[in-house]
Amino acid sequence: MKKLPLNVLYRLYKAEVGDTIDNTYVRLTGGWMTNDRRSVDNNGLLQIGPIYQFAFKDLSDGQYYQASQGATEVIVPDSNGYSVVRYKEPFSDPSNQPHTVYTCQYSAIRVSVAEYTEALQP
C-alpha cells in the first residue's frame, strides 16, 4: 500500500493499456464494475454503485498496484428536460488527495482465436 498524487492516478485512468506515465507507471488493465446487490427498494428500484478499477506497474519498485474509486451520481436534465443520472469522473475529486493504491498480483495469458466457417449440408 502507498499513496499517489491524484493527478498521476487520473492520467493512469485515462491512459490506454501499455501507456507509461511519467516514465514510471505502466497502465495494465481496467474497467467498470458494480456491486452484486440485486435486491430492490420499496419502489422496485435497484441501488447499485459503479466503481472504476485498474491495475498498473510501478517501474521504480517493480510492484503491481490496483486503484479503484466509486463514481459519484449527479442527476441532471437531458436534452428533453427529463432527469437522468450521470456520474462524475473517477480520480478527479481533489478532496481525495493523495489516493491510496494497493499492491496486487497481475498475470496475463495470451490467447489465440481462430475463425472458421462450417458448411452445412441441406
pLDDT at 25: 98
Q: What is the pLDDT of residues 51-86, one digit of tens each?
A: 999 999 999 999 999 999 998 889 999 999 999 999
Domain ranges of the chain: 2-36+46-103
Model confidence at 24: pLDDT above 70 = yes
Q: Check if the beta carbon of residue 52 is closer than 8 Å to that of residue 46.
A: no
Q: Check if the beta carbon of residue 11 is closer than 8 Å to that of residue 24.
A: no
Averaged pLDDT of the chain: 89
Joined together, the cell numbers standing for residue 77 give 436534465
- At residue 120 the predicted structure's pLDDT band, cuts being 50, 70 and 90, is low
CA distance linking residue 118 with residue 42, whole number of Å: 51
CA distances from 3 to 22, 67, 96, 97 (A): 16, 10, 11, 9
